[in-house]
Each structure stands twice: as C-alpha cells, then as structure tokens.
C-alpha cells in the first residue's frame, strides 16, 4: 500500500538550494506506461544512480483517497526492453532528490525534463492516512495536487502548465 501526498513547487531558489544540498541522492528516472484504465496503471522505470541502472516493473490499482495498492519488482534489462509501450503515451523523465523530513519521512523532489521541463513536484510517502493528514508540510510547498495530477495523467498529456505552474 502506498500513501502519499503530492505538491507543486514554484520556489526556484529553494529548488536550486535543495538540488545542491542533496545532489548525492539524485536518481534519473525514465518512466513509461504499458497499460492503464480507471482502476489500474502498469508502468516500467529505468532508474540511474551513480552509474548503476535498475529496471522496475510496477502495477498500481485500487486508488482510494491518498492510498493505492502498489506492486513493484526489479526486472532484467532484457525484460524491460521487451515490454511494449502504450503508443498513445509520452515518457516521463525526471531527476529525483531525496530529502529527510520529520518522523523519519522523506520528501522526494522531482525535477522534470522533456515535455514537462521546468515542473517540480514534492511527494511524501506516509505510514498511514492519519499521519498524512496530521504532518505539517514545509512552507516551500506551493499547491497540493495529490487528487489532480498523477504521472499516469502526465503520460497522457493531461497535465497543463506554464512556467512550471499548473493551469
């Protein structure tokens, strides 16, 4: 089970400072969708960090509020390359920085490239929905978009923005 909240970040100076401070945590992610409908999303990810590459297969299903059932498995490069992409989708390309936060939580700062160049999100995964609702969010978070924007919707081109801000 994954329980997360997602926020748009527009403070460019804060983003630059965080990227510099947490540059050692940087992962470059290319995410492509294989299948999705109203209940299920199936994707594959290529994750590069420190010259190491991992390939991940993910199934998400049954989203309710902040929670979604998630199954992830590391797969081989050959299997990754054999999985056909949905031709109606675009790749999601981003750099992710991991920032320690309160109560052992981590903020994942996603800096997008390609079709979404300039967009920055911050996500936090929680241990429970109660914790997700009670934790104070940093003041540099701009607007909560948990219910509005998913990477699945972004891959369909359904996320509209200008100058890094959602319209």
What is the tens place of the pLDDT at every residue in 108-118?
A: 999 999 989 98
What is the extent of the structural domain holding 19? 2-166
Cα four-point dihedral sign 46, 142, 115, 12: negative
Q: Structurally, how many domains does the chain consist of?
A: 1
We report the CATH number of the domain holding residue 27 as 2.40.320.10
Cut 0.75: pTM above it: yes
Indicate the pLDDT class of residue 167, thresholds 50, 70 and 90: very low
- Within 8 A by CB and 6+ apart from 98, the residues are 22, 25, 106, 107, 108, 109
What is the tens place of the pLDDT at every residue in 48-59?
A: 999 999 999 999
């Amino acid at each position: 089970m994954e329980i997360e909240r997602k926020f748009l970040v527009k403070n460019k100076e804060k983003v630059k400072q965080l990227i510099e401070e947490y540059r050692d945590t940087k992962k470059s992610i290319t995410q492509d969708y294989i299948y999705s409908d109203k209940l299920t999303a199936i994707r594959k990810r290529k994750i590069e960090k420190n010259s190491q590459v991992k390939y991940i297969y993910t199934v998400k299903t049954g989203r309710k509020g902040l929670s979604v059932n998630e199954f992830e498995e590391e797969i081989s490069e050959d299997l990754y390359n054999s999985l056909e992409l949905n031709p109606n989708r675009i790749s999601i390309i981003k750099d992710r920085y991991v920032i320690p936060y309160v109560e052992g939580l981590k903020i994942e700062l996603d800096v997008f490239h390609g079709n979404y160049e300039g967009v920055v999100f911050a996500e936090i995964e929680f241990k429970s929905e109660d914790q997700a609702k009670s934790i104070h969010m940093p003041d540099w978070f701009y607007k909560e978009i948990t219910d509005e924007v998913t990477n699945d919707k972004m891959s369909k081109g359904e996320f509209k923005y200008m100058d890094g801000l959602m319209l």
